[in-house]
Amino acid sequence: MKSPKSELWVGRKDELGALCHAIPRGESRLVWGPMDSGKTALIEKAVSQLSDRERRRCVFWTGPASGRHLLSHFVAQLFALGDPFVRKKIYADGAEGPPLGQWLGKQTSLRLRGILFTALRQGQYRLFLDHFPAATHSMARLMKEIMYRCETPLYLIARGFSQDAIGYAWSLYWHDTLRLRVGPLSGREARDLLELCIRSCSLGSLDLTDFREEILLLSGRLPGSIVRMCELAADARYHSGDRIKAKLVHVDYLIRSDPSTTQPANTVLP
């Protein structure tokens, strides 16, 4: 799941170092911060620096899911990754290829759980949950079993660490050492990113007299906000002569960022 904006990476040295230390060691983390602070990009950057073998053991889920949906997804992805135990079970039922989806639909949650848990204990996988809703009691219990019974690290990406933000999963990330905050960039980093975006979006020919300061202020120095507003600013609809209407760009950015208007897609890191 490589981000098309990966070339616009700036800063985050400490956060990246902490995550690159935790993932190979199999240490679970809650990666939290406001919308567009770059949490998903940070995960992608960290995973991209793993060895090929370690990277192939990282499996993502993005969006809401029931417990059964999550079990089915992870079993299917471990099959795709060639997990020997999962393949043995599925081949024994003659369900390889297109019938896999039908096979998954016929399995009980208990059997899927048993297959997944055994594979996780044997395979040293890392599981990532992004854009995940606040966990219910049952979902938090499933997450706990994955983390402790299966000894499999689970990386939850969220906008906070309170029960309001992540539901009952808060008890799994109860200590500061289990939480990694992703906040605004420093002033220098934000300016460096803005200059990269100006070049990437071909904004250099426009009058940027006030644009730079307005974008830095309106974005709150959040990298995703800077990138997305610069992308919008490239559209001639936001131009008045050779000047960019930054406040209008910001309004449209906020509208497009409304979670009620978007539905995250399920993704798996290759």
For 33-71, the pLDDT digits (tens) are 999 999 999 999 999 999 999 999 999 999 999 999 999
Kindly report the average pLDDT of the chain as a whole number.
91
Check residue 68 and give its pLDDT. 94
* pLDDT tens per residue across span 187-243: 999 999 999 999 999 999 999 989 999 999 999 999 999 999 999 999 999 999 999
Compute φ and ψ for 188, nearest 5 degrees.
Answer: -65, -45
Q: What is the mean pLDDT of residues 134-148?
A: 97
Tell me the pLDDT band of 100, cut-offs 50, 70 and 90. confident
CA distance 70 to 59: 11
Q: What is the mean pLDDT of residues 116-126?
A: 95
Predicted confidence (pLDDT) at residue 1 exceeds the cutoff of 90: no
- In 10 A of CB 18, how many CB atoms? 19
So what's the pLDDT on residue 7? 63
Q: Which residue, among 18, 5, 3, has the nearest Cα to 182 in the 3D structure?
A: 18
pLDDT higher than 50, residue 4: no
pLDDT at 6: 52
Which pair of tokens denotes residue 221? 């120095």
Q: Please, which pLDDT band fits residue 99 given cuts at 50, 70 and 90?
A: confident
pLDDT of residue 70: 96
Residue 124, pLDDT > 80, answer yes
Nearest to 4 by CA among 46, 32, 41, 51: 41
Res 96 pLDDT > 80? no
Band (pLDDT 50/70/90 cuts) for residue 97 is low
pTM exceeding 0.85: yes
Q: What does the pLDDT read at residue 92?
A: 87
* pLDDT at site 260: 56
> pLDDT tens digits for 160-180?
999 999 999 999 999 999 999
| pLDDT exceeds 50 at position 267 | no
**Residues contacting 209, CB < 8 A, separation 6+:** 243
Is residue 3 predicted with pLDDT exceeding 50? no
Provide φ and ψ at 117, rounded to 5°. Answer: -65, -40
What is the CATH topology of the domain spanning 6-181?
A: Rossmann fold (3.40.50)
Quote the pLDDT of residue 209: 87
Distance between CA atoms of 141 and 8, rounded to whole angstroms? 38
Helix, coil or strand: residue 23: coil
